[in-house]
């Protein structure tokens, strides 16, 4: 086995361990959050909070639809051939595409909340606030997917791991704070406040990924300069 092959395998193993560890941390935080949130909202409030999530999950699935994996694979191929400009071009195109799809589906969820309730797709009108509170999260989650895919294409897994932990932590804190803050106005508002956590968490994760991307961009500029 060549030295390059050993280094690649070691990097892959390290990346896998990082993602596994972050996944465990995220799941633990999420489990603790459900225990605390259920005490704040109660059974009925949790029900209202969860009503918007199937629509939200469908929106983020369709808006990104396997694009991050494709970005990662194509970027890896470009880097294997030392085509750094090609890798950068892949990221720039995907970023614009996901920006547009994120805006489209986020706007659709926000402005379509009334339609979902009036047509009894969502049967409880009190879930309206939960739905519109999730709309910004669709945009941020879709947009940050391009950064995760690109950085993973470089076989840099730390940004994904750190962003996932930051996203979960800020999401949980925001959920609990806003659920408690809006509780005096009723369960519908409290559930909507809890739903705001998804958007705040995704936004903070995006900031983390942009910071890592900026560092990588400096490295990329050096690599391209050496090729000239």
Which pLDDT score, from 0 to 100, does residue 6 have? 54
Q: What is the DSSP letter of 183?
A: G
Most distant pair of Cα atoms in the chain: their distance: 65
Burial class (CB in 10 A: 0-12, 13-18, 19+), 68: buried
pLDDT at residue 154 is higher than 80: yes
Q: What is the DSSP letter of 126?
A: G
Q: Render pLDDT for 68-103 as a digit per residue (tens, 0 to 9).
A: 888 989 998 988 888 888 888 999 999 999 999 999
Other Cβ atoms within 10 Å of 41 Cβ, number: 23
Mean pLDDT of the chain: 87
Determine the average pLDDT of the residues in 7-21: 71
Q: Render pLDDT for 161-180 as a digit per residue (tens, 0 to 9).
A: 899 999 999 999 999 999 99
pLDDT at residue 223 is higher than 70: no
pTM of this prediction exceeds 0.85: yes
Tally of domains in the chain? 1
User: Residue 155 phi/psi, 5° resolution?
Assistant: 60, 35
In which domain, by residue range, is 207 found? 3-227
pLDDT at residue 119 is higher than 60: yes
Percent pLDDT > 70 in the chain is 92
Coil, helix or strand for 83? coil
Q: How confident is the model at residue 31 (pLDDT cuts 50, 70, 90)?
A: confident
């Amino acid at each position: 086995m060549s030295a390059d092959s050993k280094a690649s395998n070691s990097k892959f193993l390290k990346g896998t361990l990082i993602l596994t560890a972050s996944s465990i941390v995220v799941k633990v935080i999420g489990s603790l959050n459900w225990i605390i949130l259920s005490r704040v909202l109660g059974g009925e409030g949790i029900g209202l909070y969860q009503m918007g999530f199937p629509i939200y999950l469908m929106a983020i699935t369709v808006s990104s639809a396997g694009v991050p994996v494709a970005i990662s694979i194509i970027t890896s191929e470009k880097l294997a051939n030392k085509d750094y400009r090609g890798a950068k071009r892949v990221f720039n195109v995907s970023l614009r595409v996901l920006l547009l799809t994120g805006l489209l589906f986020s706007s659709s969820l926000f402005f379509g909340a009334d339609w979902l309730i009036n047509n009894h797709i969502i049967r409880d009108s009190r879930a309206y606030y939960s739905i519109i509170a999730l709309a910004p999260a669709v945009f941020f989650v879709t947009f940050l997917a391009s950064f995760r895919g690109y950085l993973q294409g470089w076989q840099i897994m730390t940004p994904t791991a750190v962003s996932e932990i930051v996203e979960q932590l800020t999401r949980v804190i925001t959920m609990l704070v806003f659920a408690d803050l809006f509780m005096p106005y009723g369960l519908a508002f409290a559930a909507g406040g809890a739903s705001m956590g998804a958007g705040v968490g995704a936004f903070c994760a995006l900031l983390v990924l942009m910071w890592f991307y900026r560092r990588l961009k400096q490295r990329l500029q050096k690599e391209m300069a050496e090729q000239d």
